Structure 1
């Protein structure tokens, strides 16, 4: 037992679907996906706050990718029991969603991976151009630190983009545990890809990447297609590391189609 005490928010009833956010933010970053369920009753949406993020305390021991993955798998077992469920993961949460699929096997209906972490550090293949739109006059009014964080996770450096950032990204950034985050950054990848050593997963899977993603890129993620024979892949233009925020309509449409392809729950 990890005694992780992972906090979660729940909406709806029916088949569980677990949504896992990324590094140094919290579950609020994935709430723009929730309208995809408006005309799809029968899903019990479980939004996690990872250890050291949002409302969840840090792990009792040193924070690492493996420790967080173990805590998430344990928490999901508590929340869903023997029920079949689906999983959504964004960025670092995408790496965790892959680990969840490997751990639970056919109990997982399928996964939606949004800009998932696949490689890190100098092993990443990043795009040369990561800015889709830039308003220099507006940016001049931001502090250097604000520009750095905003610019790293968004591709449209405009007043509108800043509004989306302040609403969906900044609250989680402000709330995360800096010490735990530093520990995790030093041990950010699982020892091996979760897909290695387990059978190919036959469920329906979705991969969403972004051409202007300055943090994880999009090329490395395409290698995941070899491990998921029923995976649909989309590379979105004009958006960065948070496409569910910057290109919300497009991502919700993709997620909605993916939900429709899963074994349909009954509302």
Structure 2
């Protein structure tokens, strides 16, 4: 489905009925990267409507020439939420850059967000404390058979570079990489408009939402050491650092992450 918004349109897929959960994926892929691991959770849980969106400039969500920054991306998403869920409460799940946008949504719609789940989320920080790149498992023969683009992306994202991870990458991540708006994503947006103009939760001492924050100890993209600021904003939070997990923790530690999300939903 498509929803016309201020600077383009938002494509989204809705599954199930009940309390809405708005789900935001990471940069360079699309909503299918979240759908594949989240949907199995709801084989045991009823009463939730899952709203998977393609972020602006991703998947089938189009942008117009006026969209220049992450502030603009957030404006489109808030426009979608206000159009589709006017006055309704909802929860949020966001991964990586989608987790950064989820923080922006909560910042501007605090009274409407019931709870929030963040997986390896981007923080409003220019400098980050990152661990060195670690590869726990590597299949050299498997990697040598990949073209340079696939291999580079796969090696960047994963600490388990084996067939199981590659199969997930090709079926869940790569389809969205093909559709992503590369003109926008490789533009000067990263240098000039990547961070919000207003820091989320600045001046807010605490947030009442039930929060789940999951990080990977071997995540050399977003790290795990800089999150005390975010953690301290949520007195009602579960904070988990998974060992032997990188930025793609929902693939590399899928069952553990699914169980944590299930517990968060049932709290």
Q: Are 2:214 and 2:240, in contact at CA under 8 Å, matched by a contact in 1?
A: yes
Cα offset for 1:119?
Answer: 4.7
Q: Go from structure 1 to structure 2 and tell me whether the alpha carbon gap of 1:199 and 1:37 turns closer, same or farther (over 3 Å shift).
A: farther
Q: Are 1:113 and 1:207, in contact at CA under 8 Å, matched by a contact in 2?
A: yes
1:16 aligns to what?
Answer: 20
TM-score (norm 1): 0.92
Structure 1, unmatched stretches of 5+, are: 262-267
Structure 2, unmatched stretches of 5+, are: none
TM-score (norm 2): 0.92
2:54 aligns to what?
Answer: 49
Higher relative contact order (CA 8 A, sep 6+): 1
Counting only pairs closer than 5 Å after superposition, residues 45-194 of structure 1 correspond to structure 2 as 45-119=50-124, 123-183=127-187, 184-186=189-191, 187-194=193-200
> Are 2:244 and 1:238 aligned?
yes
C-alpha distance in structure 2 between counterparts of 1:240 and 1:82, whole Å: 37
Q: Tell me the secondary structure at the aligned position of residue 6 of structure 1.
A: strand
C-alpha distance in structure 1 between counterparts of 2:125 and 2:179, whole Å: 24
Q: Tell me the secondary structure at the aligned position of residue 87 of structure 1.
A: strand
What is the root-mean-square deviation in Å for CA atoms of aligned residues? 1.6
Deviations 1:124-146 (A, max 9, x none): 21111332211222222223322
C-alpha distance in structure 2 between counterparts of 1:59 and 1:130, whole Å: 39
Q: How many residues align?
A: 260
C-alpha distance in structure 2 between counterparts of 1:163 and 1:171, whole Å: 12
Structure 1 range deviating more: 124-133 or 48-57: 124-133
